[in-house]
Structure 1
Amino acid sequence: MPPAKRKSPAKISSPGPADAPARLPEGFQLITGALSPADQKALLSKINDVILSAPLFQPRMPRTGQPFSVKMTNCGPLGWVSDKERGYRYQPNHLETGHPWPPIPEPLLDLWRAHANCTGLPEACLINHYPAGAKMGSHRDQDEHEPRAPVLSVSLGDEAVFHVGGPKRSDPKVRVTLRSGDVCLLAGPSRFAYHGIDRILPGTSDLIPGGGRINLTLRRVTPFG
């Protein structure tokens, strides 16, 4: 089934009056409609191929072993994983199969080249699958060792309410809606901002059979040479 048509071309947007008084952190960008419906469908096909090679698994919190509400996998030279015994980390092999992660699809590398504004390519692409009811608590992406590189995320499928704040958990947060085909970047001063997913809005996209949202997050893990 083809994805819903987008009504406007790609543009960089900011939250509306309902989000006041908080402001988007400096360096954060939301590029709405970055991928056309046809491009979304083509990218989803490539991600499904990745998942066939590197199946989704359920990460667990360090120490407690509490399962995440999302399932995930990775592509690229490195992949982010988490389990009770060893915690958060990057490693070159699938957590369950032990096989190397598949390569990052070229359309994602094209998005990085177009929007990341830095030298070097990403080394990891996290693939998170959010069913209805899933969320992601407020956190900072700080397991990487190249702060000059942004975190670039691509949304596919159902809409999500996303929050982003500042470098402290207590900083005010802005909430924006991420739609299928949107791209957002945490770059510059916002690179280590707290952010997360408050909720998924079921039935807002027909891109993914059965609904849900897939988030693709490109990261540079090691320092640039």
Structure 2
Amino acid sequence: MTDISAFPITQKWPAQHPERLQLYSLPTPNGVKVSILLEEMGMAYEPHLVSFEKNDQTSPAFLSLNPNNKIPAILDPHGPGGKPLALFESGAILVYLAEKTGKFIPHDAAQRYECLQWLMFQMGGIGPMFGQVGFFHKFAGKDFEDKRPRDRYLAESKRLLTVLDQHLQGRNWMMGEDYTIADIAIFPWVRNLVGFYGAGELVGFAEFANVQRVLAAFVERPAVVRGLAIPARG
């Protein structure tokens, strides 16, 4: 059995099943990308809650795995060459797991890169922009008298939703008929924008019929339902 006890993070979050992939996360849009993919794959893994209320993300143990102090992060005891692999950044983790298992990523080279482009579309656009809208609409930013910063992010979020809606015309998923890591990356953020952030009316979500349709299909998937609640909050 591969020994992961040398990794300092296992001292703060002891592994009950060290032979399984260890997930350090929180059920946020970025965090659930990985738990949803793991649930879709049926892969054995052990989730650990990284509590922001306790500042777990800035603890020396967590920083030893992810110096950028963000969730999610994983420790795979069966990484490349049979050696443990520590990995952070949700997009990198999705690509790693998809390539490791050969699931939820196209095998055709051209389609694979198309899938990755939409993954990067989420990482570089949807995630940061929707997150800023959430800050200005739901959190401290709502008290700012100057609405120009909010409106800048709002306009960009609407533009991104337009791109997404046009692309999904006539498609079941981002890659057409096949459900991939591109969908798993994008739709937790769409769900969060209109759900947790409560910004559906603000961004005119009712105008984006294709995005609504695919989001509804996404949240009905049993693995998505499970993954959205992992790790369970204490």
Q: TM > 0.5 between the two?
A: no
Max radius of gyration: which structure? 2
TM normalised by structure 2 equals 0.27
TM-score normalised to structure 1 length = 0.27
Name whichever structure is richer in helix by fraction. Answer: 2
More strand by share: 1
